[in-house]
Structure 1
C-alpha cells in the first residue's frame, strides 16, 4: 500500500478494524501497512478508539506484550438496541404476516441483509466478553442470522441439517423430540464442523417449546462441545412446556388471532442482557 496521509490512514484503519472484529492486530502490521512510525499509528488508534466509543460502534482494546496490539470489540448502545427491537415489533405486528394455521411470514426479515446485520451485531454485543468458537443453527431459516452473528464474533458457523449430505463427509446424527408436534426427528452435523471443546452459541429464528434447540444442545454433547448461550429472533409465549430455560430473545410473540387478524408482540429479554453488561462495565 502506498504511503497515506493521516486522513487516509484513519479511513483505511477504521475499515480494516471493522472487518476484523475480535482479532488482535499488531502495531507492526499497521506500521508496515501505512509505512508510518508506530508512534503515529498509536496516535491514530487513539482517535479511532474515541470515535468508536462515542458513537457506540464498539470498543478498541489495547493488548500489551510482544504479541499484543489492538482488538476491535463490536458493541451496541442501549438506545440503538431498543430502536432495533421496537422496529422489529412494528414489522412483526403487521396483520398481513398471518399465514394459515396461525404461522407468521418472516422471510422478508430474514432475507433483509441490513436488518439481519444489525441483529447479529446486537447478539454479538451481548456476547462481547465471552469466548465463542462457533455459532450453530439449524437449516434453513436460521442460517442468515447465524452468519450475521458469526461475522461480528469472527467465528465459523456450523449448520445442523435434517438430512445427510455426501459433500459434508461423515456425519453425527441424533434423534430429538419436536417440542410442538412431539414427533421423533433426526438432525445431523458434519464431524469436521466442530472441534472437541468448542464453545458454541446457538441461534434460531423462531422458538416455541424449544425442541429443535434442545436437540442442538444434545448434539453438542456428542462433539464434547460446550454451550455458551442461546439466541432467538422471536419466541412464542404461552407454551405449556419449555424445553430450555436460559436463552435471550429479541421479541416475544404473545398472541396471534387468525379470526381478527391481530398480532401481539412484546420486547424479549435481550435488552435486559445488554443492560446487565453496561452495569457491569461501569463498575
Structure 2
C-alpha cells in the first residue's frame, strides 16, 4: 500500500469526523484506511483537534475502551454565533417581510439548507452536554432546523402531528390549549414506535408566542415517560412575557411588528 502523507491523513480524518457528528469512529478504522499504527493515528487526531479549536470548527473527543474511538461535536465560537444571528436579524428586520395581520415571512431561511444547518449546529452545541436521546418538534416549519439539530447530536427526530396517519401505526393523542389569546383547544399526536427506547428529549420549534405548542409537546413527552431536557426555538416573541413553559432558549427575540409603519424589531437572544 502506498504510504499516505500526514497532511493527507489529517484532512481525511477531519472530513470523516465532521460528516459524522457525534458518532464514534474506531481508531482501527483509520489505521486500516491508512495502513499505519494507532500511535500515528492518535498523533494525527491531536493535530486535527488543535486545528478545530484554533478556527472554531468544533471539538474532537476520544472514548476509551474496546468499543471506543473518536468523535466530533460542533462547538461554534461565540463571535461566529453572534455574527450569524446579527446578520439574520438584519435580514428579518426588512419591512418587506411584514404580511397582512402583522405576520412575518420566514419560509426563505426556515427552509434554506445553509441557515438550517447553522441554526441546528448552534442549538446542538448548546444542548450536547445534557445528552438528549431524541429531538422533538411539531410539524411543519420547525422540521428542517430540528432535523439539523438531531443530525449534529446523532439522535433521531420525532415529529408530533396535528393528526395521525395510518402508516404510523399506534399513536398517542392529547388535547392541549394554544398559547394565543383565544385559548383554542388543539390536538397533537405521536406515533408510539418513534419514542421506543427514548428516555430524554430536546424540544425544538420554529416560533413561540405564548408557548402552547411547546407545552403540548412537554405534556406528550410526559405521557410517554420521557424527560424533557431542554426547549429551544428560533424566534420567541417578547410578549406575552409569561410563557406556558419555562427555561426555553431562543435564537432570536421578536420585540415588535408595526404593520402601520412597516417596521420590524428583532434582536439576537442566544447566550453562549
- TM-score scaled by structure 1? 0.92
Residues 124-168 of structure 1, C-alpha deviation per residue, up to 9 Å, x if partnerless? 111122211100100000000101101111111000000111111
| 8 Å CA contact 1:234, 1:252 repeated in 2 | yes
Counterpart-to-counterpart distance in 2, 1:121 and 1:37: 33
Counterpart-to-counterpart distance in 1, 2:9 and 2:120: 28
Counterpart-to-counterpart distance in 1, 2:32 and 2:241: 60
Correspondence list, 1:22-33, <5 A: 22-33=22-33
Secondary structure of the corresponding residue to residue 167 of structure 1: helix
Counterpart-to-counterpart distance in 2, 1:178 and 1:229: 20
Residues 30-89 of structure 1, C-alpha deviation per residue, up to 9 Å, x if partnerless? 111222211111111111110011111111112223332222121011100101110111
| 8 Å CA contact 1:75, 1:128 repeated in 2 | no
Counterpart-to-counterpart distance in 1, 2:75 and 2:62: 16
Aligned to 1:200: 201
Counterpart-to-counterpart distance in 2, 1:33 and 1:107: 42
| 8 Å CA contact 2:134, 2:198 repeated in 1 | no
Correspondence list, 1:224-239, <5 A: 224-239=225-240
Compared CA separation, residues 264 and 219, structure 1 to 2 (3 A) = same
Secondary structure of the corresponding residue to residue 129 of structure 1: helix
Task: Tell whether 2:198 aligns with 1:212.
Answer: no
| 8 Å CA contact 2:56, 2:75 repeated in 1 | yes
Correspondence list, 1:35-74, <5 A: 35-74=35-74
Aligned to 2:99: 99
Q: Which moved more, 1:14-23 or 1:143-152?
A: 14-23
Secondary structure of the corresponding residue to residue 232 of structure 2: strand
Secondary structure of the corresponding residue to residue 229 of structure 1: strand
Task: Tell whether 2:111 aligns with 1:111.
Answer: yes
Unaligned ranges ≥5, structure 2: none
Counterpart-to-counterpart distance in 1, 2:225 and 2:219: 10
Aligned to 1:120: 120
Secondary structure of the corresponding residue to residue 104 of structure 2: coil
Unaligned ranges ≥5, structure 1: 275-283
Compared CA separation, residues 10 and 179, structure 1 to 2 (3 A) = same
- TM-score scaled by structure 2? 0.95
Aligned positions, number = 271
| 8 Å CA contact 1:196, 1:225 repeated in 2 | no
Aligned to 1:15: 15
Aligned to 2:262: 261
